[in-house]
Structure 1
Amino acid sequence: MEADQPSEVDGEPDYRFTLANERTFLAWIRTALALLAGGVAVAQVVPPFSIPQGTVVLSVGCIALAAVLAAGSYPRWRAVQRAMRADRPLPPHRMMAVVAVGVVVVALAATVLVLLE
């Protein structure tokens, strides 16, 4: 039996917390979709930079960050849901640091590519 099943939980949390957790999950998914769309747009619309494969690097960076974010959002949602149901503290979250660093790296790469144009 999966740990998500009601038989393993101590109680149902206030529905507002459950809905807030769901909204947070959906926000992470929307951000991943935006990064994915940005990566595809860079590959298909942006003219080539003077640095060879610059658009490919920028595009793959956005798409890879989107994949990491999408892959990490569901386990985070599930862990928070379990903690709320068991009335435990929320687990630590490393995904915010990963996304922040990833966005900074992509932004720096885009800045370099634009400035060297």
Structure 2
Amino acid sequence: MAKDRRRPRLQEIGDEPDYRFTLANERTFLAWIRTALSLLAGGVAVVQFLPDLGPRPQRLLLGFILVAIALALAASAYRRWFRVERAMRLSQALPASLMPLMLSLGVAVVIGVSVVLMLSDV
């Protein structure tokens, strides 16, 4: 008889955690997604609706930085949710995440570029 080589579904791993922790993990996932959507909207707004901020190439740079951060957050949010859910099911320590560092550094870069754009217009 052939072996079943499929990867086990998350619900088949370990023990069911307290539903409150699962819901908290889901809320955190949704917060990362909301943050990504906000950054995406900010990137579009900078490029399309703020002509006084600076020349178009500089606005494009700022907008692309915002969109890149949004993409990175959205792309890694599910992976983080899955890793935390799996750790809870296996009664393991929660995995570390680079997402807060990535978001902080990205926003710091956006702030720096924004300040340069604002001061270059003075």
Gaps of 5+ in 1: none
Aligned to 2:20: 16
Q: 1-side partners of 2:52 and 2:58: how far apart?
A: 7
The range that moved more, 47-56 or 80-89, is 47-56
Quick check: 1:4–1:82 contact (8 Å CA) kept in 2?
no
Shift of 1:50: 4.6
Give the unaligned 5+ runs of structure 2: 1-5
Q: CA deviation at 1:3?
A: 4.0
Distance 2:77 2:34 in 1: 11
Q: Normalising by structure 1, what TM-score?
A: 0.93
Q: How large is the RMSD of aligned CA atoms in angstroms? A: 1.4
Deviation sequence 1:6-63 (CA, Å, 0-9, x none): 33x2200000000000000000000000000000111110115555611110110110
Q: 1:3 to 1:89 in 2, by over 3 A?
A: farther
Tell me the distance in 2 between the aligned counterparts of 1:92 and 1:50. 39
Give the conservation status (yes or no) of the 8 Å contact 1:49–1:55: yes
Q: How do 1:1-117 and structure 2 match up within 5 A?
A: 1-7=6-12, 9-47=13-51, 49-51=53-55, 53-117=57-121
Distance 2:88 2:14 in 1: 9
